[in-house]
Structure 1
């Protein structure tokens, strides 16, 4: 008998060892093998293994084998956490108590570390505690305290569990529990234990020989319960924990965590009227910290912590500050000192406070008792302008530091706006203006040029505060600013800043047109400069033309002359901006005045393009010059829009449109294979269609021919895209000749697309597939017979189905929309013939009548049914795959609609297609059990003709299961080792906490 028992034990050990071996090998590959493909394969295997019921026992064996390396034991601990979260249904109810005991035993075994495994086991126990009932695991906190709280060697483990428990209860949205159960469990786990936690933490705090590590753990636990809202500040006041939170700031080891606790404590008193007994005690303990701040000096960590505390107090008590100045004004004084600190990261901590206090002050700034606050905001403005100043030697900054500083300047600009709200924009602008005047006066006295940094900072502040200025007010201040800018030294950085200030105040200039001549000269000089100055001048010119366009009409000849003289010297963006600016001015003219002005602007550009096109020796630089003119014309027409369309003369269709088209077409005939010319030209054609409208009809056949031939020659999808725009604009009103042009050119591009798709992976040509689906959708909407009754139709549909394999959301949406329009076409309401699959469609998903009377309906229906009979299985498979893998959540409703339509029209076919499609789904996306459940629900719904049931099977069954798998994957970080994170949205049907 003994030999038999020994043999059985040996057999079990051998079996266990055999089950562990694959896991150990996979982990070894994951952490030691340098081959990425092998690592990925091991990672996938481990994640799949974690889903199996066998993983429970394997994880237990690995976790208890303390002689193993850290990696397999950590994998085991995190496997327990994952399975407790997602697979608890694999454990019978009668065995869940044993699971709890196993985990508690494991936690005791790791009482001395490693900490990372302790944490994972604590998280697992917390997740289990949420899911079990009071009968299955009563008195969780008391039980864990009894187990771990009486021995100094295990107190740290208890504190870790008590820390993660409220975090998991309030923050882990992955745990699937019903709402009623969750609410009951919250009261049992947290609400009824708050007093016990305070007692426990106080006892440990006062224990003799307590270490700073345990004190830190006490604070972390206290923070967790405070943030969960389970410990009220008033309860904390009566314990030593309250005073010790402030005393701990004197300890270097505890300073950071004590800072966090105090900030949380203050935050929990945000219902100020309910906490008026606690707030004075908190504020009284803040005052000694002002002296600590003064002594901190260059200790940035200490300054940051103290600043955080005062900022939290200021934000939380900002309404009390105005009501009780004597008690709370020191908080304001402390925060202005923080704002003056040299570290901008610390400065930014104060910004929200200035906004909140300023919002309250702005409504009462006439109150004489608030003068001290106004003085603080005046000082704040001076401080922020000082922080805006670039360093004397920018070479001391790295590129990243320069970018960060430039970005932060705009952030500081928001605080300048707060100053404007409190002090008034006039006073704030005057302060910045006076800074510049003082700098210039000092420079004149010394006979030296001022540093550009000293002038640029207040200039930037003027720009930042510009949004707070009324265009019709502050005349004297803004006028003085506008007047002083051209008088500044000609340093590029000062000119750049001055031009941007002008950009900000063009609305004010519109009300003071007498300033325009001088500003036009100043801006034009800037355009002839280089680099940033020219870019700023271009922006200033654009805003000036946009906001002051009614006053700039007399200056059009001057602008045209300027363009003619310096056009080729301008940067491309500046020339394009000029096109936009002139467009704004021309748009204010009457039609009879606008048309000559437009011709005067456009003719030089068209002539230059024509000359480049005609010159066989044109260089790349010449082509760039021509291309910039195309971009300029495109921006010009975009700005004007269709406003003059009805006023165009009759000969516009034959002469103006034709002549202009001939120029661009000539360039395309020779250089349409240049990608940038292709891009600019199709954009110009698109704007021209908007501007000319029906007057462009005469050039459409030639334009379509050119677009299709260039697409065939180059494969540039922009030519394809342009065909879609033409169909969209003119398809509904096309005559027979234009329809014939549409059809022939659609067939040409279709042939090219099919060729590309045969020879190229779809992911390498997503733009071609997207634009081809777009063209096909436009034809379906405007000229359906050209698509549905064409031999091209099956290929076009296949292209749309192929688009579902791509990952770009815009392509997927367009393809799904096109597919829905096909499978739900109203023609399918016609009864099928004996040779066609399907049943009459009765959903009317395309908005048409179910009693479809179009004479082409039978032919349409036959073509659609034939396509679906041959491609429906592939379509359904890709819809399912996209649903559980790559489709964006916002497309799920569209997928559901397509499925319901397919089931309605092709029920028998769908039943035959669905099995192979589900079987082909990646196992990592949906588990086998979920696949079986879905097939059962789907099949039953189809047999009953239950379309809502089909939707439910998809969204509440298959999609929810895939989301659960995705949540599981997001918890993984290599080798199925869950690390947290992921989508916080709860799985549908479960409580959203």
Structure 2
């Protein structure tokens, strides 16, 4: 674009883009406006459009263009223009009201935030922004959104801020955090019944916590922490506030992993989380899945933050093993998606215990891992009316695969043979009218640990093989399929016990032969030849 277009020309193009029913005209307008956004003239045009404030479309285009230019082409502006750009943006922002469309508000927030991060001469922007917009409740939505995105943009790849600049900005946020917290408290107290504003308050706090911009001494004991747990314990809390508070608590729990720096905050959060099980059970009773997931996220985040203490000093201080009880409670939920949230903690716990290689420590955690495996066995059950063999693309099949991998990771804590025997005992103790899905789930768990069974076992494995090989043809195909997989997983044991190969050769079903491992097939061929 060789010269600056007139404002009227831009408005015509915008009208063609948003209102012209002609597809060809829309495409031409889109291409032309795209070229305008790339040009240096976009700065002035977008500023003029915002001043004109003619309609939603032109204002959104202007705000989005301004944000994009600041983010990707800030180098186009000479340093002498930075001050006027800032003043112009803030002036546009003062005209924002509760009627301003959120998309325009968000783009202006990002434009101001990105400008403050890149404009090194703009010192301590947060106090200035709070002073300018915090006096008018009509502008609180904008201010809260701006204070939320500002810490989030620090690590934006598009801005490419250097390490020194990021550190400088973070220090400024830390210094401004008391003022920011006072604003959040004031807004929360004034707009107590406004659900939208309440959610914005907690999202803003979460953003600052994630950026490590709130020292614990500034937040502990404040009404904000109490408000977080009040929301979580109130069954009537609106879903959007409940989710915003969950994100905030998870951010807080994440940073308290550094107990030397955040021990007092950790204690306050620990006591609050330990009071949430009743609220969790209510969410389950009322089948409020979203809130149930939120509680599970909080329990899991706390467990991960205190993992090192849990392993080093179990049942002492933050190593309180009631934290594991919270997670097992979630694993027992009837929806497998809830249990899935906890998996990363169990992986990390098994890795920590494996590295320490201390049997007395393993014994401390053994009962919890045993209960975990039993709960996972229940989670792996197909619906009793399920037909055929599940497709590999099925989400539940994918979940079962993750269960298998998890059990392989944690089973050393409880011993593979004990797990194998426990599952087989469960099978033997099932009543005659037990449905096929419970048996299949137990065999599935046995598959996960079968390769670890020692070849010198002469008691349990023969019983398992005999039971599998004697399954009637009427057995549900999914149960038969898992049984065949179990035989394949026992290939190492079978290789050391050739007396069983004779029985295996009687299973001539093509499905069986294909599904068995290559080692089983090799053993059978040797047996037949000999």
Give the TM-score taking structure 1 as reference length. 0.48
In the alignment, the residues of structure 1 paired with residue 383 and residue 438 of structure 2 have an alpha-carbon distance, to the nearest angstrom, of 10
Match of 1:276, SS? helix
1:143-191 per-residue CA deviation (whole Å, 9 max, x = no partner) reads 2112101111112211111111111112x111255555x2465256434
Contact 1:63 1:73 in 2 (8 A): yes
Task: Identify which of 80, 85, 88 aligns with 2:66.
Answer: 80
CA contact under 8 A between 1:27 and 1:42: conserved in structure 2? no
Confirm whether residue 282 of structure 1 aligns to residue 269 of structure 2.
Answer: yes
Which residue number corresponds to residue 553 of structure 1? 526
Give the corresponding residue for 1:292. 279
Matches within 5 A, 1:825-844: none
Residue 499 of structure 2 is aligned to residue 514 of structure 1:
yes
CA deviation digits over 1:408-444, x for unaligned, max 9? 11112233334512210001001111122223xx33x
Query: Is 1:394 equivalent to 2:367 in the alignment?
Result: no
Name structure 1 gaps, 5 residues minimum.
1-13, 528-533, 558-993
Q: How many residues align?
A: 512
Aligned to 2:135: 150
Of 338, 360, 366, the match for 1:367: 360
- Residue 54 (str. 1) matches residue 38 (str. 2): no
CA contact (8 A) 1:86 1:176 kept: no
- Mark the CA change 1:382 to 1:282 in structure 2 (over 3 Å): closer, same or farther: same
CA contact (8 A) 1:471 1:505 kept: no
Tell me the residue number matched to 2:339.
Answer: 347
Give, in angstroms, the shift of residue 110 of structure 1.
Answer: 2.2
Q: Does 1:21 align with 2:8?
A: no
Equivalent residue number for residue 255 of structure 1: 242
Q: How far is the alpha carbon of 1:73 from its aligned partner? A: 2.1
Q: Does 1:317 align with 2:306?
A: yes
Residues 170, 211 of structure 2: 8 Å contact kept: no
Does residue 1:303 correspond to 2:292, yes or no? Answer: yes
CA contact (8 A) 1:471 1:511 kept: no
Gaps of 5+ in 2: none
Structure 1 contact 499–540 (Cα < 8 Å) conserved: yes
Cα displacement string for residues 682-735 of structure 1 (whole angstroms, at most 9, x for unaligned residues): xxxxxxxxxxxxxxxxxxxxxxxxxxxxxxxxxxxxxxxxxxxxxxxxxxxxxx
Contact 1:339 1:350 in 2 (8 A): yes
Within 1, Cα distance between the matches of 2:71 and 2:262?
38
3-state SS of paired residue (1:262) = helix
Does the Cα contact within 8 Å between 1:232 and 1:268 map onto a contact in 2? no
The equivalent of 1:196 in structure 2 is 179
CA spacing shift, 1:316–1:19, aligned 2, 3 Å: closer
What secondary structure is seen at the aligned counterpart in 2 of 1:278?
Answer: helix
How many Å separate the matches in 2 of 1:541 and 1:324?
Answer: 42
Q: Judging changes above 3 Å, is the alpha-carbon distance between structure 1 residues 419 and 27 closer, same or farther for their aligned structure 2 residues?
A: same
Tell me if the contact between 1:62 and 1:73 (Cα under 8 Å) persists in the aligned partners: yes
User: What is the distance in 2 between the residues matched to 1:236 and 1:479?
Assistant: 62
Q: Does residue 540 in structure 1 map to residue 516 in structure 2?
A: yes
Deviation at 1:538, TM superposition (A): 0.4
Kept in 2, the 8 Å contact 1:204–1:210? The answer is no
Q: Deviations over 1:923-971 (max 9, x none)?
A: xxxxxxxxxxxxxxxxxxxxxxxxxxxxxxxxxxxxxxxxxxxxxxxxx
CA distance in 2, matches of 1:555, 1:401: 34
**C-alpha displacement of 1:539:** 2.8
2:138 counterpart SS class = coil
Distance 1:111 1:370, change over 3 A: farther
Task: Flag the 1:483–1:164 CA change in 2: closer, same or farther, 3 A.
Answer: same
Q: Distance in 2 between matches of 1:299 and 1:343?
A: 12
Q: Is the 8 A contact 2:255 2:262 kept in 1?
A: no
The answer to whether the 8 Å contact 1:426/1:477 transfers is no
SS at match of 1:288: coil
CA distance in 2, matches of 1:295, 1:208: 27
1:409 aligns to what?
A: 400
1:456 CA drift (Å): 1.3
8 Å contact kept, 1:194–1:231: yes
Q: Distance in 1 between matches of 2:16 and 2:297?
A: 49
RCO greater where, 1 or 2, for CA within 8 Å and sep 6 or more?
1
1:205 corresponds to which of 188, 207, 228: 188
What is the rounded CA distance, in whole Å, between the counterparts of 2:439 and 2:33 in structure 1?
Answer: 62
Q: 1:236 aligns with which of 216, 219, 225?
A: 219
Alignment match, 1:333 = 325
C-alpha distance 369-21 of structure 1, shift in aligned 2 (>3 A): closer
CA distance in 2, matches of 1:240, 1:473: 63
Quickly say closer, same or farther: Cα 1:18–1:315, change in 2 above 3 A: closer
Match of 1:127 in 2: 114
d(CA) in 1 for partners of 2:32, 2:505: 69
Partner of 1:496: 481
1:535-583 superposed Cα distances (whole Å, 9 cap, x missing partner):
x53031534246x4xx8435359xxxxxxxxxxxxxxxxxxxxxxxxxx
List 4+ stretches of structure 1 deviating above 6 A. Answer: 399-402
Find the aligned partners of 1:194 and 1:122 in 2 and give their Cα distance.
19
User: What RMSD over aligned residues (CA atoms) do the two structures have, in Å?
Assistant: 3.0
Tell me the CA shift for residue 141 of structure 1. Answer: 1.0
Question: Is residue 414 of structure 2 the alignment partner of residue 423 of structure 1?
Answer: yes
1:847-858 to structure 2, matched below 5 A, reads none
Name the residue aligned to 1:382: 374
Residues 541/281 of structure 1: CA separation in 2 closer, same or farther (3 Å cut):
closer
Structure whose alpha-carbon radius of gyration is higher: 1
Contact 2:206/2:249 (<8 A) preserved = no
Distance 1:67 1:401, change over 3 A: farther
Match of 1:215 among 198, 203, 224: 198
Report how far residue 117 of structure 1 moved. 0.8
| Cα distance in structure 2, aligned partners of 1:208 and 1:46 | 41
SS of 2:516's equivalent in the other structure is helix
- 1:480 maps onto 2:463 in alignment: yes
C-alpha contact 2:328 2:372 (8 A) present in aligned 1: yes
Q: CA deviation at 1:96?
A: 2.0
C-alpha distance in 2, partners of 1:217/1:368?
44
8 Å CA contact retained: 2:13, 2:33: no
- Offset from partner CA, 1:367-411 (integer Å, 9 cap, x none): 39955x43332222222111211112237x9x9998111221111
Paired residue for 1:109?
95
Q: Could you give the per-residue CA deviations for residues 338-380 of structure 1, whole angstroms, max 9, x where no partner exists? A: 1111111111112222233344456577439955x43332222
